Amino acid sequence: MRQQPRHNFTPPTLAQVADYAAALNVVAPAVTAQKFIDCYAPEWRDSYDRPIRNWKMKFRQVWAKNNRLPPPRPAITENWTL
């Protein structure tokens, strides 16, 4: 008896990955998205030859982990009187 997969995986488009990368504040989201797609498409398997079931989780854990812009510093507005 063969088991059915948990769910059908739908590969993301380049625009979906770029939008997700921008939402995570990744450096150069369009370039990073293209590298992500090039790395896993068309088979969508990781380096251990396991199928990728959740591309967003793979992107967060591998591609966005150390590739984020620093958070913006708040502007200091103080009233100085002499």
- Rounded to whole angstroms, the Cα distance separating 82 from 72 reads 30
What's the number of domains the chain is made of? 1
Asked, for residue 30, whether it belongs to a domain, the answer is yes
| DSSP assignment of 37-68 | HHHHTTTTB-TTSPBPS-HHHHIIIIISTT-B
Asked, for residue 76, whether it belongs to a domain, the answer is no
So what's the pLDDT on residue 69? 64
pLDDT in tens, 35-69: 999 999 899 998 899 999 999 999 999 888 877 66
Supply the mean pLDDT for the chain: 84
Percent helix / strand / coil, the chain, rounded to 5: 40, 5, 55
Asked, for residue 46, whether it belongs to a domain, the answer is yes
Residue 52 domain boundaries: 14-63
In the chain the first and final C-alpha atoms are separated, in Å, by 84
